[in-house]
Chain A
Amino acid sequence: MKIGVFICYCGENIGRTVDCAKVAQVAATFPGVEHSEDYKYMCSDPGQNLIKQAIREKNLDAIVVGSCSPHMHEKTFRKAAASAGVNPYLVEIANLREHCSWIHENVEEATAKAIDLVRIAVEKVKFNEPLTPIRVPVTKRALVIGGGISGIQAALDIANAGYPVTLVEKEPSIGGHMSQLSETFPTLDCSQCILTPRMVEVYQHPNIHLMTYSEVEKVEGFIGNFKVTIRQKARSVNAELCTGCGLCMQSCPIKKKAFSEFDEGLAMRPAMYVPFPQAVPNIPVIDRDVCTYFKTGKCMMCQKVCGRQAVDFEQKDTFITEEIGSIIVATGYKLYSIDKKPEDSFIKGYGEYGYGKYKDVVNGLQFERIASASGPTSGEILRPSDKKEPKKIVFIQCVGSRDESKGFSYCSKICCMYTAKHAMLYKHKVHDGEAYVFYMDIRAGGKMYEEFVRRAIEEDGVKYIRGRVSRIYEENGKYIVKGEDTLAGVPVTIDADMVVLATAMMAQTEAPQLAQMLGVPYDKYGFLAEVHPKLRPVETSTGGIFLAGACHSPRDIPESVAMASAAAAKAMVLFGSDMLEREPIVAKVNAGTCAGCLYCKKVCAYNAIEVKEIRNRQGELVKVVAYVNEGLCQGCGTCNATCPSKSIELIGFKDEQIFSEIHALADMY
């Protein structure tokens, strides 16, 4: 076997700590090495050409590249080798950057280690076999989890490209938080006016299968071949018979027993309800926790008035299973709780602002509802406690955000903008009112964003005070806001009529469970993680699963929409081909020696081990053996380590390859 060794300096990344020329020189003396050289940027075009040229000139059979992590450039070098006629799986990477130069300082020692790493790779590559990628079919149907603006956008993009989409939303209607907003920054256009046409488009789209009041129950399979079980929660209304006339809701005697989720608890709703008049689908649902029938077995008013006999108290949760090729997660966010300190949570709440003790201390979404024409006050700015117009209002930014002692170190990103918008809306509606904003910094990066904030300050006369608020208490019907003006260096006291807290955006409570179900990593806050923060911002480390919107991190509407379209594009890339190529690094069973103990099946985390019957020519069962489903196998090697009879091997990491690596290292000492 003729092996070529190529040592990369990675500019200064490796070259500063490792004597690359020396590594190449020493490698040239290793048995089997026919060619060895070093170059400043091996991943560059000229660098790759060096490899191709050497392969052609010296008839090399295998390649070892001493460079960065295989995560970065293994593909690059495999491609280069393949184009010169060497099987891509006869390329091995010695990681001289992450495993060596970046973590050491002493040049001599680092160089010695680099030589070891290259020697190990050379010994391994001698046992590498030519492999061909596994091809699996792709199911061209997407699943979008979450029906807010991100999910809606992703579903529409994919559906418009001609692929079928299943859109799952846990609430009775799609629309998400955006449907609750009054106006949107920086243009002040009405949120519902721009959103509802999209919602209707989703409903009517022939390629979209909309499942509201549903939740994803189980996800199996892998990229291109997911099997997803969805729970359709019992609506207690037959969706096919219901015309959405609304008679049932009017007849429901339980009008004021439940807080409206849509109005953020500022209004009540009946037990039989649609979240808001423009709901999609316009099919009501019975809240079984408050419905009289479900508590006492009596009432049934809604059933009596329904001309279509659509009310079905006996309805049960149903489950459907879908074959899915790609999943887009768009589950959104929730707000930091100001009401109370959640139990067993690292969130500490804001007792000093009154823990929901004071009715007129509201959060950002509640103020959206108050300012919204469809809200409980029909858009008039009235405080919740006595429905009077507040003449002095205080907005406090960064409530929960950028406050490590209260739980979150991160910036929620949207609050500077929406607070400016709130203050502006307030001033537009209460002309003689005074609006104060307490802020830490104003972060208004974005097209027309800074201009928007300046407009609030300069044109609408909103008073911005840089500083924090230490506490709020009630005195003679006023809310005494105690704060500090850190620019003037003086304490500030404002006797406000109403206070709006720009509470932090946080991950949905169920986000970690969903992430675990999908096999997607998440951070300590519960936000789902992308695979690369710069270059692969919507992809997750699990193939075929993409992220959109605030489930990834705090995001505003334009960003969520852009991200959703990006995720949709990624899914469509996948659907663009009929077959998907996968790495052939999978486990393989030697049926001859397998005793059928199936320990491997027990330890496999991916359900990739199946049972296969071996029969003789007469059709009699000889024995059962393990069999690897190459589509599911992730090549983790657990089965390989578990097998008592050494009957499973991991292609590309066979025992002889691992042992040759160990020998190569042991010989040194």
Chain B
Amino acid sequence: MSYGYYPGCSLSGTAKEFDISLKKVLQKLSVELTEIQGWACCGASSAHATSHILSIALPVHSLLLAKEQGLKEVVTPCAACYNRLVNAQHEMKDPSTRTKVETVVDKPYSNGLEVLNLIQFFNLLGADTIKAKVTEKLGHIKAACYYGCLLVRPHDVTGFDDEEQPRTMEAVVEAVGAKTVDWNFKTECCGAAHSIAHTNIVEHLSKKIIDDAIAHGANVIIVACPMCHSNLDMRQLNIIKSFPGQKTIPVLYLSELVGLAMGMSLKELAIDLHFIKADEILKPAEAVTAK
């Protein structure tokens, strides 16, 4: 089985672990990813702050390349890229926008591609397929699944899960044998790009999310978005400094958790690159091997 792959910039930079762990897991599942040749930046926040048409034209450029290269589904692990890509598909339904964008990319547009975020992709592969490769017992892991804003919103555009009470990430986490906790801030804002200019806002917002996860008994937060990860993981260091007595909690990508369940080591999955060490909570899993 082969799927198209749109890594986006984060997965070769700040979120290298996301890329590494996903590829390792897919290797185990004998699923191939075919990277779109010549993909361009999705535009992220900068493009739509600059020009509406540019913010659509950039994703459309990559989507059209994928189509030319015969791809049917495009896996987009980065939540921001996913959001920009499906947003472009949505905007292109409007004939006047479509005409303008076609002029910019100098190609006729036609849809027919399915853009999948990581959770959708795992659910598409199926719980049974993933379960078949699980070797470790993760019953001691109590995960707070954090969706953030970009995966589920705006719901008319993404059409993914329930925008207020999503459940699909839990389905994957439970399929690999970990437990999930019911908590309040699954879709609360982490502060996103304010991380650079207003770090204190991000500290404040991320602390709320971290505290709520811990208060509801979680020992790990699972994410599927590089931005969320950096705000919850990297900025946790600032939070510890600003708030004495602050408890910490490791933050893992969904692909990393699935990899752990499949018996891969922290190093293999690049979890050791995280700022908040996950060794403590993951130790029992490494020790106890189910056969």
Chain A residues with CB under 8 Å of chain B are 341, 349-352, 355, 357, 473-475
Contact = CB atoms under 8 A, between A and B. Distances in A.
Interface in B164-178: 164-165
Given A352-B164, A357-B165, 16 more contacts: A341-B162, A349-B164, A350-B164, A351-B162, A351-B163, A351-B164, A351-B165, A355-B164, A355-B165, A357-B182, A473-B184, A473-B185, A474-B184, A475-B184, A475-B212, A475-B215
Nearest to B152: A351
Contacts of A355: 164-165
Interface in B196-231: 212, 215
Nearest to B211: A475
Contacts, number: 18
Contact-size category for B? under 10
A621 B185 CA distance: 82
B165 to A, nearest CB: 4
Interface string B215-256: 100000000000000000000000000000000000000000
18 contacts: A341-B162, A349-B164, A350-B164, A351-B162, A351-B163, A351-B164, A351-B165, A352-B164, A355-B164, A355-B165, A357-B165, A357-B182, A473-B184, A473-B185, A474-B184, A475-B184, A475-B212, A475-B215
Most A CB contacts (10 A, CB to CB) among B163, B165, B212 go to B165
A35 to B, nearest CB: 56
Contacts of B164: 349-352, 355
Pick the 8 closest A-B CB pairs, nearest first.
A351-B164, A473-B184, A351-B165, A352-B164, A355-B165, A351-B162, A351-B163, A474-B184
Nearest to B155: A348
Nearest to A474: B184
Contacts of B185: 473
A474 B185 CA distance: 11
A257 B283 CA distance: 45
A473 B184 CA distance: 6
Nearest to B182: A357
Contacts of A352: 164
Contacts of A357: 165, 182
Contacts of A475: 184, 212, 215
A357 B165 CA distance: 10
Interface string B173-196: 000000000101100000000000
Contacts of B182: 357
B173 to A, nearest CB: 19
B214 to A, nearest CB: 12
Nearest to A349: B164
Nearest to B164: A351
B255 to A, nearest CB: 26
Which of B162, B212, B215 has the largest number of chain A CB atoms within 10 A? B162
A473 B164 CA distance: 12
A350 B182 CA distance: 17
B201 to A, nearest CB: 15
Nearest to A341: B162
A473 B162 CA distance: 17
